[in-house]
Amino acid sequence: MNLFIDRFYIKMNTELKIETHPWEPYIPPTPRILIMGTFPPKPARWSMDFYYPNKINDFWRIMGLIFFNDKTYLLNPDGNFNLDAIKKLLNDKGIAMNDTGKKIRRLKDNASDKYLEIIHETNLMSLLKKMPDCHVIASTGEKAASIIASQTDTAMPKMGEMVISDSGLEIWRMPSTSRAYPLALEKKAEYYHRMFQHSGII
């Protein structure tokens, strides 16, 4: 019976669509920190063609609160994200963006990391070669943190903490910005603020 079940799930997984990451890494003129999630939600959930596009994900509200003391600063009056303001912030602060998953399968019809099967990881070392002055990496969740730890041969940090790799990279594990993660937006912002402050971004 177990063998039958195993074969069923193997067959089911191989029939699921493989998705390729829709965006190139966002690299500002002088990148100082790289923020990495796992993979974007399905396009039906996008409100812009850029990282963290889902209106119910709080990443850009956290950034607005940290850098402008206003969680709505990076939103338009209609509630959608203001991509021009977002890119200006990233460029001004030297914040690069990418995800750890390059190709994935969704084992369920949602964006939960728990049900993402990573088929092909982003090559972190190749990406960092494009940003020689970037020595800080921050993950926005546990799955991204585990992939970064594996590729940098480090222990996975505890949530809100960092480790230093043999090459001198500061590797931070931040709380997920998904509303499914049980922590208030303001509390999440405190963790991110501390990381940005320690890294000299603030």
- 97 has which bridge partners? 26, 35
Where are the domains positioned within the chain? 2-198
In this prediction, residue 8 carries a pLDDT of 41
Residue 161: Cβ-neighbour burial (10 angstroms; 0-12, 13-18, 19+): middle
DSSP 26: B
In this prediction, residue 6 carries a pLDDT of 44
Predicted structure pTM score: 0.89
What DSSP element (H or E) covers 11?
helix 2-15
CATH architecture of 2-198: 3-Layer(aba) Sandwich (3.40)
In this prediction, residue 116 carries a pLDDT of 79
- Do 135 and 30 contact (CB within 8 A), yes or no? no
Do the strands 116-121 and 101-106 form a parallel or antiparallel pair, or are they unpaired? antiparallel
Mind listing the pLDDT tens digit of every residue in the chain (202 residues)? 454 444 444 444 556 789 999 999 999 999 999 999 999 999 999 999 999 999 999 999 999 999 999 999 999 998 899 999 999 999 999 999 999 999 999 887 766 667 779 999 999 999 999 999 999 999 999 999 999 999 999 999 999 999 999 999 999 999 999 998 999 999 999 999 999 999 999 9
- 98 has which bridge partners? 36
